[in-house]
Structure 1
Amino acid sequence: MSTSETAEAESAAEEGWDAVRDLPPSAKLVAKTLEYNDALTQSQLAEETLLPPRTVRYALNRLEDVDVVSSRFSFADARKRIYTLEIE
């Protein structure tokens, strides 16, 4: 990776965390939990953070609104979504 590509990646990460900085504490906790665990379902996030499922759902919606979290369907159970953090 060239120096300019590295600088761009770091800048994008800073912008992502800047967007998270203005969100509620529950969204920050969910983002940090996703940073340490690559991909989790909503129920796994609730278990890891000790937050109620409704609060986790709200936090994920807020994180998706600022484009720092993405989701995809689980191959193991199509009823569930797997969430990943898009900030490097």
Structure 2
Amino acid sequence: MSMSTSPAEDPSAAVEEPLTEEEYRDRLRELPPSAKLVAKVLETESPLSQGQLADESLLPDRTVRYALNRLDDVGLVGSRYSFRDARKQVYFLKH
């Protein structure tokens, strides 16, 4: 007996609707300046690793990590493994 489920049966497989520009800006408005800067960098260049984000934003790695966590908390950033180096995650905006 197969244990697979179709996307309709699996709520985690649901596809998220893209955010409108207004929804995106409302979520971003409440975030700290570091998260806004990281989002701005990701708007122009994406996907980027945490190290690349630190280089581009001139923020310390720890601040970039905090900013990415805040962006993730409000559903504005996604991540995947890098095609070039599977040991690294790269980040992108979800709007």
Shorter-normalised TM range: 0.7 to 0.9
Q: Name the TM-score, length of structure 2 as normaliser.
A: 0.77
Q: Residue 74 of structure 2 corresponds to which residue in structure 1?
A: 66
Q: Residue 21 of structure 1 corresponds to which residue in structure 2?
A: 29
Once the 2 structures are TM-superposed, how far is the Cα of residue 38 of structure 1 from its aligned partner?
A: 2.3
- Which of 39, 48, 60 lines up with 1:52 in the alignment? 60
Once the 2 structures are TM-superposed, how far is the Cα of residue 13 of structure 1 from its aligned partner?
A: 2.1
Identity, % of aligned positions: 62
Higher helix share: 1
Unaligned runs of 5+ in 1: 1-8
Structure of greater Rg = 2
Residue 32, structure 1, aligned to residue 40, structure 2: yes
Q: Name the TM-score, length of structure 1 as normaliser.
A: 0.83
Q: Residue 4 of structure 1 corresponds to which residue in structure 2?
A: none
Q: Number of aligned residue pairs: give it.
A: 79
Counterpart Cα distance in 2 of 1:72 and 1:28: 21
Q: Residue 80 of structure 1 corresponds to which residue in structure 2?
A: 88
